[in-house]
Amino acid sequence: MSVERLSPWQWREEILTAVTPPRSVDTVPLEQARGRVLAAAVRSPEQVPALPIAAMDGFAVRRADLTAPGTTVLPVAAELPARPGEVPDLPSGSAARIMTGAPVPRGADAVVEVEATDSDPFGPAPAVVALALESLPVPGRHVRGAGEEIPLDAPLALAGDRVGAGLVGLARTLGIDALEVLRPLRVAVVVTGDELTADSSSDRPGADPLPGAVRESNGTMLAAALAADGAHALPPRHCGDDPADLRETLDIAAGEADLVLTTGGIGHGAYDVVKLLLGERGAGTSRFVHLALRPGGPQGRGTLPGGVPVVHLPGTPVGALVGYHLFVRPLLDRDGAAPRRMLLGGEGDGLRRGPAGTVHALPGRREIAADGREVVHLVPGRRLAPYGRADSMVLLESEGPDGGGTDDSGTGPDGGAAANGWTEADGPTEAGSGELASAPERSVLVLAL
């Protein structure tokens, strides 16, 4: 049976366009906001500094009282440390010793640095000070004007920005004690398959499993991935291959979640219950495709009762993991889920052959090379095993069995095809197997896990 294969990048864009989980807003104390995503822009409620302050230890003066070039001797009318309190005006014909950060007195229009005076910077304020100048200071010299750092109502961060330590410090500086942030998406994971067994006291390492039984791992794995990406992962639910049971389980999941993920049951077999229930021969509420992607070719999306979006992932653990990072993670953190380029290194990581246009997702591990460049190496192993050590997913596109390029379906997220260096390598479904050929140094697309 011939099945049209979509590019994973086409499917990724379709998911981002069609799947829009609702986002609620929380107002949280500043101390709890780090790592959250802003729901609204943050603007400055006041200007910083609030009034002119000294940018240098020295003496606040009126430029009109100075002689330059030459030395001017002025009485010291006040000492102004950087602390709260009233600041007296500066009398004409006098100077005020001032510290960095202290408000500049009215009447002063410059600060002369202490190094240009005869004053001991560590001693008490002198009665008089001699200021030796080669030229008159420009107006406002060593004075930070009101609003110079942050004007009133200036944008500090935009909706969608992630709150970091810098914004927390900035907000505290401005007296902002709470931020509006997006509430973490509640995501339900429904794992299907009669062959799967849940954890129990008898399901222990080394125990003899029933023939055909497989320990269920997708729910725990995806819950961990969701939590790492800031989502609220609900306890995973397991359902067998009975359509009525699946319908009931999905109804429950849709009632408690903003987004539902399913794993398994979306292939071309007689027992693929998810496709049977929701596909064109069932409710018709989900669309199922087969992508030019290994592993993780079968994928799907749709809606459940109440309009809750659902994303369908393959049942194999490695396929579910690949599908999650390529198609679900962008819904949670679009910028953080964007692939970036780096060098593919390591002996034996040469070109591979396969059907033209197929993208192979392979486990990788990043390191900084001796020359300071970031390099990713493929981690050997089969199926999920190498992901125990992998910190990256390397996305390699087939050249084809004859070494040819790709068609339009192979266009990557940066618009590149073979000529742009994106379609230079290929890998089989399991890393570490397949025939290798030598290749020059090349860059590849990499997703950080």
Find the mean pLDDT for residues 342-362: 73
pLDDT digits (tens, 9 = 90+) for 368-427: 988 888 999 999 999 999 999 999 999 998 865 544 433 333 345 554 333 233 333 333
Please report the pLDDT score of residue 5 as a whole number. 82
- Tally Cβ neighbours within 10 Å of residue 341: 17
Q: What separation in angstroms does the CA of 328 have from each of 24, 223, 229, 448?
A: 19, 12, 10, 14
Instruction: Report the predicted TM-score, pTM, of the whole model to 2 decimal places.
Output: 0.76
The pLDDT > 70 percentage for the chain reads 85
pLDDT digits (tens, 9 = 90+) for 169-180: 999 999 999 999
- 173 CB-near residues (< 8 Å, 6+ apart): 48
Please report the pLDDT score of residue 176 as a whole number. 97
Question: Taking Cα atoms as reference points, which of 178, 174, 176 lies closest to residue 50?
Answer: 174
**CA dihedral over 254, 5, 396, 339, signed as positive or negative:** negative
Which parts of 30-118 fold into alpha helices (H)? none
Residue with tokens 């962008």, as numbered in its chain? 330
Higher pLDDT, residue 207 or 220 = 220
**pLDDT band (50, 70, 90) for residue 204:** low
User: Does the pLDDT of residue 45 top 90, yes or no?
Assistant: yes
